[in-house]
């Protein structure tokens, strides 16, 4: 029995793949199979390429040079060497290697794009990519090298080299040559035929793969962010008046309405809030009163990101594209264009990174409020013996430091462009830099939210009055990583463990199972 059996199977058809599909493939929870109808499209497009190779047409990417060398005609005898030269010369990445998960996501996205049927690659390319994913052969790919136009050339070239048996891969936990891994799996090195190399490397698959992972992490993180913010409302015995649905109906932004509704649902049966329903606190600080107005736009940014990435997952992004016309074959079937330009992905990556900075900025302010005895803290720094003990004072410092890094991540990467290939490629998107930056922003944001969760957990524990069903379920989940007792200690490991959970679904599944009416997942 091969190792990849008994997992969910994702069918790739170039049309219906979503971010969860890619995420599951990335993390080894799913294998892939190509839809039979998609293979028919692949073969039809390939017939166009084969006809061109056998004829006398000059067509970019099939029998010409690349980039600024587009005017150089390549003889029929050299078209296969042309493709091999292409992937070898373009496999020039730098820096640390991409994670296994990102490499798997990239392979999945590239395969789904190719089976859309407009790339003209040979069916053997499809088969080899499918086998690499399902046998868990993971090419070693340096992270730095893509400009986001023409697509992710350098990273995808390292992938293409592995498919032909060159370079190194990770297989069964060890780094070995791609050729050896292919032999162990009883496969054969791929032979690149006309256009195959270009079809493999000219596309936005690394960027899109990273963003598919980001989307699934953000779905979890933004839900936790609302739960943790609600915990802070309870921990400070704040009023829920600003969450009245009537208020948000007067300014009906979808994200704002969604977050206000979700906060109300999270705190629906909180004893703490009900005890303070008639309290004399008229207006809480903005970071407690305006959560829907800030978390809401962040949700809208995620919604836009999901829309954009889902479209890109099911798009043809290489150049040229093939549009088979069996009735009237000719040069019009091969079209040079610019679908490889990743500006749309860079924009949504930058927007999401900025949104996460704002989310984290408000979270850090709530931490400070919960620890300051002159504001909302029920005890100075939530220490039992303030003065002798520092309590959670430095948790806020750590959150502020992470926020400082997030400020750097909020700077748009798409604001920079450069000229390459002797001026032929004179504007690039920096989409890969932007999407990688988003993954780093998610990591820092999860740390800030974890700091807030840790502080709110301590405060609610001190209050002792039961919070809502949802919050109490969150606290029970946190108790698996938060140590008992409030004496001064290093809290780094506990906070890091919380942060690790905030981009996963395990705690949320438990929390949702305790609720009569599970929380809505998206706007």
CA 151 to chain centre: 17
- The CB-based long-range contact list for 323-327 (8 Å cut-off, 24+ gap) reads 323/118, 324/44, 324/45, 324/47, 324/48, 326/44
Q: At residue 5, what are phi and psi to the nearest 5 degrees?
A: -75, 165
Burial, 213: exposed, middle or buried (Cβ in 10 Å; 0-12, 13-18, 19+)? buried
| DSSP-derived 3-state class of residue 175 | strand
Question: In the beta sheet, which residues pair with residue 175?
Answer: 170
Q: Residue length, the chain?
A: 523
d(CA 281, CA 284): 7
**DSSP letter (8 states) at residue 223:** H
CA distances from 262 to 82, 227, 517 (A): 57, 9, 11
d(CA 419, CA 102): 27
Question: In the beta sheet, which residues pair with residue 420?
Answer: 425
CA 40 to chain centre: 31
d(CA 331, CA 48): 10
Active site residue 243: no
205-235 vs 469-478: helix crossing angle, rounded to 10: 110
d(CA 138, CA 336): 31
Asked if residue 25 lies in contact with residue 3, where contact means CB atoms within 8 angstroms, the answer is: no
* Residue in 4, 60, 171, 243 annotated catalytic: 60
The residue among 320, 331, 322, 318 whose CA lies nearest residue 55 is: 331
| DSSP-derived 3-state class of residue 322 | strand
The catalytic residues are: 60
């Amino acid at each position: 029995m091969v190792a990849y059996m008994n997992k969910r199977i994702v069918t790739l058809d170039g049309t219906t793949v979503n971010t969860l599909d890619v995420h599951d493939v990335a993390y080894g929870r799913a294998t892939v199979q190509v839809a039979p109808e998609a293979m028919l499209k692949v073969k039809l497009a390939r017939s166009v390429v084969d006809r061109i190779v056998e004829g006398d047409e000059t067509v970019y990417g099939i029998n010409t040079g690349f980039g600024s060398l587009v005017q150089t005609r390549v003889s029929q005898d050299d078209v296969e060497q042309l493709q091999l030269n292409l992937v070898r010369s373009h496999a020039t990445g730098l820096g640390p290697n991409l994670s296994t998960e990102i490499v798997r996501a990239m392979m999945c996205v590239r395969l789904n794009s190719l089976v859309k049927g407009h790339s003209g690659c040979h069916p053997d390319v499809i088969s080899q990519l499918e086998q690499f994913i399902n046998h868990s052969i993971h090419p070693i790919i340096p992270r730095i090298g893509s400009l986001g136009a023409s697509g992710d050339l350098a990273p995808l070239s390292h992938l293409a080299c592995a498919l032909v048996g060159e370079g190194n891969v990770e297989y069964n936990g060890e780094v070995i040559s791609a050729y050896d891994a292919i032999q162990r799996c009883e496969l054969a090195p791929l032979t690149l035929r006309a256009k195959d190399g270009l079809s493999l490397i000219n596309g936005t698959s690394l960027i899109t793969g990273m963003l598919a992972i980001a989307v699934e992490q953000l779905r979890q993180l933004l839900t936790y962010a609302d739960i943790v913010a609600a915990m802070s409302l309870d921990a400070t015995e704040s009023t829920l008046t600003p969450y009245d649905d009537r208020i948000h109906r007067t300014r009906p932004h979808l994200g704002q309405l969604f977050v206000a509704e979700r906060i109300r649902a999270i705190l629906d049966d909180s004893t703490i809030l009900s005890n303070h329903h008639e309290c004399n606190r008229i207006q809480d600080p903005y970071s407690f009163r305006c959560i829907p107005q800030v978390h809401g736009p962040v949700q809208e940014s995620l919604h836009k990101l999901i829309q954009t990435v889902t479209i890109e997952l099911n798009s043809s992004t290489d150049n040229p594209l093939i549009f088979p016309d069996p009735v009237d074959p000719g040069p019009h079937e091969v079209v040079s264009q610019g679908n490889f330009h990743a500006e749309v992905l860079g924009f949504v990556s930058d927007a999401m990174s900025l949104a996460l900075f704002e989310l984290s900025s408000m979270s850090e302010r709530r931490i400070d409020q919960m620890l300051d005895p002159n504001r909302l803290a029920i005890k100075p720094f939530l220490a039992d013996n303030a003065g002798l003990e520092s309590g959670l004072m430095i948790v806020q410092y750590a959150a502020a430091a992470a926020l400082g890094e997030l400020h750097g991540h909020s700077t748009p990467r798409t604001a920079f462009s450069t000229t390459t290939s002797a001026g032929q490629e004179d504007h690039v998107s920096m989409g890969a830099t932007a999407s990688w930056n988003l993954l780093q922003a998610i990591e820092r944001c999860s740390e800030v939210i974890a700091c807030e969760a840790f502080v709110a957990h301590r405060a609610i524990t001190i209050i002792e009055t039961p919070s809502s069903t949802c919050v109490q379920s969150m606290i029970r989940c946190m108790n698996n990583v938060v140590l008992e007792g409030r004496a001064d200690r290093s809290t780094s490991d506990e906070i890091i463990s919380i942060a690790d959970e905030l981009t996963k679904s395990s705690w949320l599944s438990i929390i949702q199972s305790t609720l009569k009416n599970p929380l809505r997942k998206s706007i």
